[in-house]
Amino acid sequence: MPKRLRTLLLFLSLLNLSAGLPAQGSDNPFELIDRLPEESTADAPVDTSDNPFEVYPEEEAAEPVIGKAPVAPVEDPTDPQRRSIVFIHLLLVLLVTSMWVLFRDLLRQCMRAIANDNVMTQLYRRRSGGQISALWMCYLFFLLSAGFFLYLVSLEFGLSLPINGVWASWLTFALLVMGAVGFKLILLGLVGRIYPLRKELSRYTFLLMVFSILVGVLLVPINLLISYAPEDYRHFFLIAGLVVLGVVYLLHLVRGLFIANYYVGSRPLHFLLYICTIEVAPLLLVFRYLSNSLA
């Protein structure tokens, strides 16, 4: 057979074999579909990121919370109140320190005059314009210190004023103390005009001022103990402060008896009328108000 004819027959045989093979299309005949899991056959998301090392976290289904709503953080309502109390304490301590630096000798004489009638008489006779001004400044400090003590008492026993704010409540209590003391001074002035007791009442008013200055200084550590003592001891320090104030008040009345010793024996009715009207009646009214409020 000629060589050209054999080449032609071989070429035709190859064409017949290629025509008999099945068309493969786009599928790979060597891919093992039945061994792959079902998830791999699903359409996977196309990664469009330029970073080949970026890792995508798996999305976890949020578990529903049943029976409990998320609780929002609750702010401490007493925090602004505590800050105001701290500032008031710092102000009172600063004022009493300034008083001691400026009027040290006068304050020492007032403290000695509490137990010594001769020192009280000398302090009363030697008072001058500058000394009276210093005494009135110390008296104003008593009003502020006593007003803050009443505010702490109201917090302890739940007796609140219809006023919002620590500073407003403190100044309101200070005004109440000033009103009570001013009312007493007005009554003393009226008694002095009605009866010939101007000299004795003037000395008694000065005695009241000196004792008030002592109370204002004593209330500074008492207020600190009530505010910052452990919770179990605050009520104890509050009662102790009230007892101290009661003792000072009784001592003030005893010293007042020495001033009015002549009228106690000669005019006992007028003296008892004064005691019941000016000294005892206001205390009974305060006690009645506190009893009704606490009940």
Nearest to 96 by CA among 214, 247, 182, 208: 214
Of 239 and 201, which is predicted with more confidence?
Answer: 239
**What integer is the mean pLDDT of 264-286?**
67
**What integer is the mean pLDDT of 252-280?**
70
Of 269 and 149, which is predicted with more confidence?
Answer: 149
pLDDT, one tens digit per residue, over 46-95 is: 555 555 555 555 545 445 444 444 443 334 545 678 889 999 999 999 99
Q: In the structure, what pLDDT confidence band is assigned to residue 6 with cuts at 50, 70 and 90?
A: low
Which residue bears the tokens 């701290």?
Answer: 86
pLDDT given for residue 92 in this prediction? 95
Mean pLDDT check: name the lowest of 6-10, 71-75, 189-193, 250-254: 71-75
Q: In the structure, what pLDDT confidence band is assigned to residue 272 with cuts at 50, 70 and 90?
A: low
Asked whether the predicted pLDDT for residue 32 surpasses 80, the reply is no
- For residues 184 and 209, is the Cβ–Cβ distance under 8 A? no
Percent of the chain with pLDDT over 70: 62
Of 60 and 239, which is predicted with more confidence?
Answer: 239
DSSP 28: -
DSSP 49: -
Asked whether the predicted pLDDT for residue 276 surpasses 50, the reply is yes
Q: How far apart are CA 142 and CA 215, in angstroms?
A: 7
Contacts 24+ apart (CB under 8 A), 198-201: 200/259, 200/260, 200/263
Q: In the structure, what pLDDT confidence band is assigned to residue 171 with cuts at 50, 70 and 90?
A: very high
**What integer is the mean pLDDT of 103-114?**
89
pLDDT given for residue 7 in this prediction? 62
Mean pLDDT check: name the lowest of 53-57, 62-66, 196-200, 212-216: 62-66
Angle (nearest 5°) at CA 43 between 39 and 48: 120
Of 224 and 68, which is predicted with more confidence?
Answer: 224
Name 132's Cβ contacts closer than 8 Å, sequence gap at least 6. Answer: none
Q: How far apart are CA 72 and CA 273, in angstroms?
A: 63
